[in-house]
């Protein structure tokens, strides 16, 4: 009999895993269960879809029949996995108000995460103009609201990467935007120096940034439509659309219903093969905690590339290979209009907390020939261990190739390379692509005191 694999969740991790399983094994009986309307959707392009810059196809790549016809993967949409009986290997599903039980040999959990709902007075569940952005369906709802209601003022609560990208999206749609951040600063991984151009760009684009104050209360009109928010400071801000993006929490409701034994504080932790403690049950993506290879602690890292990689590794292991997932070292990137930032590894403060004798170098560099009229300097900060010169973290703010340079640092950190070794790297150079002294070599020179 064919081995039966059930994948729960049709987002980044679940869909990638199902497709990879099919590529690796034509004989498996694969069923994917998704509680929402779409599968193979991507969260990352949604701010640009809402702004009208990317088509719907960039958000929802394929319809279910594509996977059924082309890849022989059975897709169940609008179908919620409610409980798993791990002893009998049965998933209980709810579809069209009908309950059903499906048997599995192998179960892959990729249930994702949900935005945290802030504690705000008078926040109603279902109302016009209040949104969270977590998936393709949310993106479609936000876009429909904007098209139909033509909001003029927007408030974005939370200035993480999703908040920042949505502020840009709303500005591109000509809304007047207020960003509200309860913490005392935005982008806390950036030093004051690196943060300054980012904030300047936000102000240039007309964004009002309020830090150190949360939203206390929401005000509606008689049609149940949001019209204003009141801040902790007492200030009232008019708004026609309110986006709540204060962070996410892993989706573990299914596991709570199924008697899953969490190792620590409701955290799902797998081994390096993406296996949970239950035989035949794998877990990947936003719903799990993974090891940060520098900090040595488990963190919830909600990133699409991380989920995809874990999906490939889980699929390989299900198909009998022994592939290990090596964890993360904290790489991520975002942008606001033309200004970009990316980071990897740890900050100076984190390095000091971890007991490193840490130092940092700050460097302003061009990323292509400075003679071009559009050439602008980028700024990099690199944290290293003073004792051996091993790089611990890097962060960059600039206009071009920012994530690509930080990716090089990610490899440097992963391989525990010393700044002194940068001179051994052979980089590309042409005036449109780089500078003769690649930023890493410029950093080497500064480190070796060859340059101020």
Ligand X SMILES: Cc1cc2nc3c(=O)[nH]c(=O)nc-3n(C[C@H](O)[C@H](O)[C@H](O)COP(=O)(O)OP(=O)(O)OC[C@H]3O[C@@H](n4cnc5c(N)ncnc54)[C@H](O)[C@@H]3O)c2cc1C
What is the total count of residues that contact ligand X (CB under 6 A)?
34
**284, two tokens:** 């990947």
Nearer to ligand X, 8 or 417 (CB): 8
Alpha helices in 258-347 (DSSP H): 304-318
Three-state DSSP state, 133 = coil
SS3 (DSSP) at 131: strand
SS3 323: coil
Position 46 contacts ligand X (CB under 6 A) = yes
Which C-beta is closer to ligand X: that of 287 or that of 440? 287
Q: Which is nearer to ligand X, 307 or 391 (CB)?
A: 307
Give the SS3 label for residue 38.
Answer: coil
Q: Which one of 135, 178, 276, 331 is in contact with ligand X (CB under 6 A)? A: 135
The residue from 5, 6, 13, 159 that contacts ligand X (CB under 6 A) is: 13
Closer residue to ligand X in complex, CB, 307/318: 307
Q: How far apart are CA 284 and CA 311, in angstroms?
A: 6
Question: Can you tell me the distance from the alpha carbon of 338 to that of 340, in angstroms, rounded to the nearest whole number?
Answer: 6
CB of 145 to ligand X, least distance (A): 16
Q: Rule CB under 6 A: choose which of 7, 84, 179, 254 binds ligand X.
A: 254
**Part of the chain binding ligand X (CB under 6 A), chosen from 36-44, 180-188, 190-198, 354-362:** 36-44
The answer to whether residue 410 forms part of the interface with ligand X (CB under 6 A) is: no
Q: Give the CA angle between residues 111, 112, 117 to the nearest 5°.
A: 120
* Interaction of residue 168 with ligand X, rule CB under 6 A: no
Q: CB of 225: closest distance to ligand X in angstroms?
A: 23
- 122 sits in the region (left: phi over 0; alpha: psi -120 to 50; else beta) called left
Which range in 7-15, 142-150, 188-196, 376-384 contacts ligand X by CB under 6 A? 7-15
Helix (H) or strand (E) holding 353, with range, is helix 348-353
Q: Is 44 helix (H, G, I), strand (E, B) or coil?
A: coil
| Strand, helix or coil for residue 181 | strand
Selection from 283, 282, 281, 303 nearest residue 292 by Cα: 303
Location of structure tokens 């640009």: 48
Among 168, 286, 350, 379, binds ligand X (CB under 6 A): 286
Give strand pairing partners of 41: 60
**Could you tell me the smallest distance in angstroms from the CB atom of residue 165 to ligand X?**
6
User: What is the sign, positive or negative, of the torsion defined by CA atoms of 380, 381, 384, 389?
Assistant: positive
158 binds ligand X (CB under 6 A): no
Specify the 3-state DSSP secondary structure of 138. helix
Closer residue to ligand X in complex, CB, 10/330: 10
Which of 14, 197, 398, 439 touches ligand X (CB under 6 A)?
A: 14
110 binds ligand X (CB under 6 A): yes
Contacting range for ligand X; rule: CB under 6 A; set: 58-66, 107-115, 123-131, 215-223: 107-115
The token pair that represents 26 in the structure block:
């034509």
Q: Which is nearer to ligand X, 11 or 398 (CB)?
A: 11
Residue 122 or 266: the one with the smaller Cβ distance to ligand X is 266
Binding pattern for the stretch 296-325 against ligand X, x by CB under 6 A and - elsewhere: ------xxxx-x------------------
Q: What is the DSSP string of 61-121?
A: ---HHHHHHHH-EEEE-SEEEEEEETTTTEEEEEETTEEEEEE-SEEEE---EEEPPP--B
Interface residue with ligand X, options 5, 18, 59, 81 (CB under 6 A)? 81
In the complex, the smallest distance separating the C-beta of residue 353 from ligand X, rounded to whole angstroms, is 26
151 binds ligand X (CB under 6 A): no
Residue ranges in contact with ligand X by CB under 6 A:
8-14, 33-36, 43-44, 46-47, 80-81, 110-112, 133-135, 162, 251, 254, 285-287, 302-305, 307
């Amino acid at each position: 009999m064919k081995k039966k694999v059930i994948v729960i969740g049709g987002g980044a991790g679940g869909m990638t895993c199902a497709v990879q399983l099919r590529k690796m094994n034509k004989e498996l009986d694969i069923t994917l269960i998704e509680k929402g309307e779409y599968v193979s959707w991507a969260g990352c392009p949604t701010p640009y879809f809402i702004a009208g810059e990317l088509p719907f196809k960039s958000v929802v790549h394929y319809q279910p029949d594509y996977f059924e016809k082309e890849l022989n993967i059975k897709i169940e949409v609008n179908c919620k996995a409610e409980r798993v009986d791990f002893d009998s290997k049965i998933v209980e599903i709810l579809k069209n108000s009908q309950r059903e039980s499906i048997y599995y040999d192998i179960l892959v959990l990729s249930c994702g995460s949900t935005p945290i709902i802030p504690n705000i007075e008078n926040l109603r569940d279902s109302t016009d103009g209040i949104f969270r952005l977590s998936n393709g369906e949310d993106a479609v709802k936000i876009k429909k609201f904007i098209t139909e209601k033509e909001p003029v003022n927007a408030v974005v609560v939370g200035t993480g990467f999703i908040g920042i990208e949505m502020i840009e999206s709303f500005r591109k749609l000509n809304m007047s935007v207020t960003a509200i951040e309860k913490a005392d600063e935005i982008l806390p991984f950036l030093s004051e120096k690196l943060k300054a151009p980012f904030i300047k760009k936000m102000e240039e684009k007309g964004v009002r940034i309020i830090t150190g104050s949360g939203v206390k209360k929401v005000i509606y009109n008689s049609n149940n439509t949001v019209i204003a928010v009141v801040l902790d400071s007492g200030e009232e801000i008019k708004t026609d659309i309110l986006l709540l993006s204060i962070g996410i929490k892993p989706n573990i409701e299914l596991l709570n219903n199924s008697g899953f034994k969490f190792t620590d504080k409701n955290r799902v932790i797998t081994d390096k093969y993406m296996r949970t403690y239950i035989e035949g049950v794998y877990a990947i993506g936003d719903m799990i905690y993974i090891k940060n290879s520098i900090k040595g602690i488990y963190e919830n890292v909600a990133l699409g590339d991380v989920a995809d990689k874990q999906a490939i590794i889980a699929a390989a292991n299900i198909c009998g290979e022994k592939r290990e997932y090596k964890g993360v070292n904290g790489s991520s990137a975002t942008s606001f209009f033309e200004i970009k930032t990316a980071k990897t590894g740890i900050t100076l403060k984190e390095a000091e907390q971890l007991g490193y004798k840490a130092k940092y170098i700050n460097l302003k560099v061009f990323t292509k020939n400075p003679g071009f009229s559009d050439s602008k300097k980028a700024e990099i900060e690199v944290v290293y261990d003073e004792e051996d010169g091993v790089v611990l973290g890097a962060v960059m703010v600039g206009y071009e190739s920012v994530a690509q340079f930080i990716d090089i640092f990610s490899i440097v950190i992963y391989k525990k390379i010393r700044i002194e070794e940068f001179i051994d790297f052979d980089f590309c150079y042409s005036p449109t692509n780089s500078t003769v002294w690649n930023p890493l070599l410029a950093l080497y020179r500064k480190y070796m005191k060859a340059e101020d």
